[in-house]
Structure 1
């Protein structure tokens, strides 16, 4: 059975693009233990969301799309709570923040004493999400989009779905070009990497 940290793991692999990674490196970047990463890889592979073959692993873009768009908000629903200091997420974070008109409502944030924004508390998918998001702005955007889907009103959810699909390569835009553009590395020459599985990254043990 999938756990919420497995979504964090899959989104991290998407955010990294074609870069190889070790379990220990991924564990540090996610604020998790190496054993948690191993367990997450096993669960996501068993669920069909991660294809692993002879040490290579590729997220199933369409399966991940279906799960994030139609499943996460029911399995791990989130509702804003009280006012706290934290890190912006959902409609308060990019790429949604600049695409939506201001409503005057308090922003949604992951509770974090070191966060720089006061807003309505939104429980993250996993306890280490704030740490992982600080270490990777691309991952932060992916997590914020998922929060927009699982907690936002229809207008926010619809935009979050469109933006997420661009990044997963399930709406005609390849994940590599999205990730490299976000990281300032320019456009990629290969699109739909996770969808067609032509490029794979090694899962170093």
Structure 2
């Protein structure tokens, strides 16, 4: 049996992209193109996620409850984040355009991007090309921003993010199995 050498940040981003695609018929090459991550890196990531119990043996179906538990209880410890210097970028965490309507804050958090439309404290993305990937997938962008709230938010913000992630991650699985 293969040894698990720990999760890597891009593993979270890859699993969330699969969820945002809302299909079990995705292809490895399409996922690699959408995320600008090599096929071999995607494959290794899926192997790590399989060993961690976050995706099924065939590496097609996300174990949604397990992923949600990891995001809720583990992501802030495995991939901690401390906001950095003020940079131009794409808003994340409570600064995400939809989430900003709920939480008022004087400080923005952003993923660095020289073409970004906001200034704020830098949050490291889960992988290098993440900013490009979120520009073309609003659902993926929101999922990653919610996870960033768990990593850097205050208690009230984190509770909101967990509730939203439960809706977004578990909702599709309840539709698949005909549950209400």
TM-score, normalised relative to structure 2:
0.90
Q: Is 1:92 paired with 2:95?
A: yes
Indicate conservation of the 8 Å contact 2:35/2:130, yes or no: yes
Highest relative contact order (Cα 8 Å, sep 6+), 1 or 2? 1
Deviates more, 1:139-148 or 1:152-161: 152-161
Residue 86 of structure 1 aligns to a residue whose secondary structure is: strand
The match for 1:35 is 40
The match for 1:141 is 142
TM-score, normalised relative to structure 1:
0.79
CA distance in 2, matches of 1:116, 1:46: 39
5+ residue gaps, structure 1: 177-190, 199-205
Q: Is 1:151 paired with 2:147?
A: no
CA distance in 2, matches of 1:120, 1:21: 35
TM-superposed CA distance for 1:168, in Å, is 1.0
State the aligned residue count: 174
The match for 1:57 is 60
CA distance in 1, matches of 2:178, 2:76: 27
The match for 1:162 is 163
Considering fraction of residues, name the structure with more strand: 1
Indicate conservation of the 8 Å contact 1:96/1:159, yes or no: no
TM-superposed CA distance for 1:45, in Å, is 1.0
5+ residue gaps, structure 2: 1-5
CA distance in 1, matches of 2:49, 2:62: 9
Residue 42 of structure 1 aligns to a residue whose secondary structure is: helix
TM-superposed CA distance for 1:19, in Å, is 5.7
TM-superposed CA distance for 1:20, in Å, is 2.2
CA distance in 2, matches of 1:130, 1:152: 20
CA distance in 1, matches of 2:118, 2:56: 38
2:73 alignment partner, one of 70, 73, 79: 70
Residue 124 of structure 2 aligns to a residue whose secondary structure is: coil
TM-superposed CA distance for 1:44, in Å, is 0.8
Q: Is 1:83 paired with 2:80?
A: no
Indicate conservation of the 8 Å contact 2:24/2:61, yes or no: no
Considering fraction of residues, name the structure with more helix: 2
